[in-house]
Structure 1
Amino acid sequence: MNYTGFASLYDYLMADAPYAGWLEFVKESVQGQPLHGLKFIDIGCGTGELLLLMLKQGMNGTGLDLSPEMLTIARAKAEEEGFSPLLIEADMTNLPELDEYDLVTVFCDSLNYLRSVDDVQLAFAGFAKQLKKDGLLLFDVHSEYKVNEEFVGQTFADADEDVSYIWNSFSGEEPNSVEHELSFFAKTESGHYERTDELHVQKTFSINQYCTWLEHAGFKVESITADFTQNEPTDKSERIFFKAIKL
């Protein structure tokens, strides 16, 4: 999913996203290392909200996303704040040779857009190639509970003067997958509303599967927590966080 029509609405609709929580997870995960100068790449950076928060900590960052529209917005926002990070349009399953980073981040369930075992394994192998020895990979995914109990069969909607949406979620064709059918109605300068339709398909896997694939890619799984806490996942956790170290 490249968010082609969604890019211009993304920040509006993600206004309440827990970016501060992801930043805090990064801070906790580096275990007291100075953030200033820490070299990172944020994969699936979208419009750059988290990327900017990390840059403001003095970190040295690169952003990568599949959507050129998202990256255009990210660049404008970064320049407005006085930053000029390298922004790269690429697929996380086929990463170009970039640099050696201290940290790779993949947040906001970006990894859930990879729907095959091969794609997840290719992504993990690519992440490993971007990291220095003992570098960190931090990412989160939707849990199986979240996909099957909190998404499938649900309808979400919001009506606002400028942007309204209807979001229906259906069971995907594969186990632990979900299809999100979204319709957005955005007010134009003329006062009319323009409709944009998107289909987003996400899939998740078990914690054990992610751990096995990480180990095969040359990582040691350091911790697995849930829902922006230090707690281990339960059978009703919604978002699973992984911290892995490149061996």
Structure 2
Amino acid sequence: MSYEQFAYLYDRLMHDVPYDKWVQIIKKAANDYKVKGANLLDLACGTGELSIRLSRAGFQVTGIDLSEDMLSVAQAKTMEAGEAVFYIEQDMSQLEGLPVFDIVCICCDSINYLQTDEDVINTFKSVYEHLDENGLFIFDVHSLYKMNHLFINQTYAVNDEDVSLIWQCYEGDYPNSVEHDLSFFQLDDKTDMYRRYDELHFQRTYSLEQYIEWIEQAGFTILKVEADFSEGPINEKAERLFFYCKKK
């Protein structure tokens, strides 16, 4: 599943995403676990916002995304920022033709957009094949609590002068899944009228135990699991889980 027209409004409507926190935890993990190189693969890189910040932080970044529209935005932003990020259009569950990397990250709950168990399992296998023996794999996902108690039957809205968004969340067909029904309205300067665009996006998560099982089956050792950008115990109302893994 990939973003289409929403890709061109994503940064505007999602301006509060804490990208700098992701950069901080990746830099800290690279230091804590003594990762030797700086070649980093940013899977599901979207509009390149995180890729650009990681590049500024000193990583040599390759960004991969399934959405051609997202990558078009990312490329333009990267050129404007004067950074060097190499972008590729691929499915993260079917990576091919790539070198190995010192760090692979999948941020912003992007794994939750994979629709089947097989897609998640294949993604972990693909990452394993493209990670250096001493490399680090970092990813985050929505918790069961967030998916089932904070998303379902909720409505979010953004209302600016020239663009608005209505975001409705419904329970999905699969366990622990949600459908995001997005309707956004953008002012057309030529006609002085608003154009409406609709997209439907799907997210699905799994239990902590299930992720651990799949990660270990793919050949990884889990170094630690954290929640909500903080160290310490994971409580039952944690919203986002972070996994730090290396090859066995």
What's 1:180 paired with? 180
Deviations 1:168-215 (A, max 9, x none): 111000110001101000112222111110101100001111111111
Check the 8 A contact 1:115/1:204 in 2, yes or no.
no
What's 1:16 paired with? 16
- Partner Cα distance (2:155, 2:33) in 1: 43
Check the 8 A contact 2:186/2:195 in 1, yes or no.
yes
TM-score of the superposed pair, with normalisation by structure 2: 0.96
Deviations 1:44-94 (A, max 9, x none): 000101101110012111000000111111111111122232111001111
**Residue identity matched to 1:89:** E
What's 1:214 paired with? 215
Check the 8 A contact 2:99/2:130 in 1, yes or no.
yes
Check the 8 A contact 2:36/2:102 in 1, yes or no.
no
CA 1:25–1:143 in 2, change beyond 3 Å: closer, same or farther? same
Residues 53-64 of structure 1 mapped to structure 2, 5 A cutoff: 53-64=53-64
- Partner Cα distance (2:79, 2:36) in 1: 20
CA 1:160–1:170 in 2, change beyond 3 Å: closer, same or farther? same
Check the 8 A contact 2:35/2:136 in 1, yes or no.
no
Check the 8 A contact 1:223/1:242 in 2, yes or no.
yes
**Residue identity matched to 1:221:** I
Residues 187-198 of structure 1 mapped to structure 2, 5 A cutoff: 187-190=187-190, 191-198=192-199
What's 2:203 paired with? 202
After the TM superposition, which of the residue ranges 35-44 and 212-221 deviates more from structure 2?
35-44
What's 1:126 paired with? 126
Do residues 242 (structure 1) and 229 (structure 2) align? no
What's 2:225 paired with? 224
- Partner Cα distance (2:122, 2:205) in 1: 16
Do residues 81 (structure 1) and 77 (structure 2) align? no
> Structure 1: which 5+ runs fail to align?
none
**Residue identity matched to 1:131:** L
Quote the offset at 1:25 in angstroms: 1.0
> Structure 2: which 5+ runs fail to align?
none
**Residue identity matched to 2:52:** L
Structure 1 runs (4+) deviating above 2 angstroms are: 31-37
- Partner Cα distance (1:179, 1:9) in 2: 19
After the TM superposition, which of the residue ranges 216-225 and 82-91 deviates more from structure 2?
82-91
Check the 8 A contact 1:104/1:138 in 2, yes or no.
yes
- Partner Cα distance (1:121, 1:44) in 2: 16
Deviations 1:1-21 (A, max 9, x none): 210111110110111100011
CA 1:93–1:35 in 2, change beyond 3 Å: closer, same or farther? closer
Aligned length: 247
Please report the RMSD computed on the Cα atoms of aligned residues, expressed in angstroms: 1.5
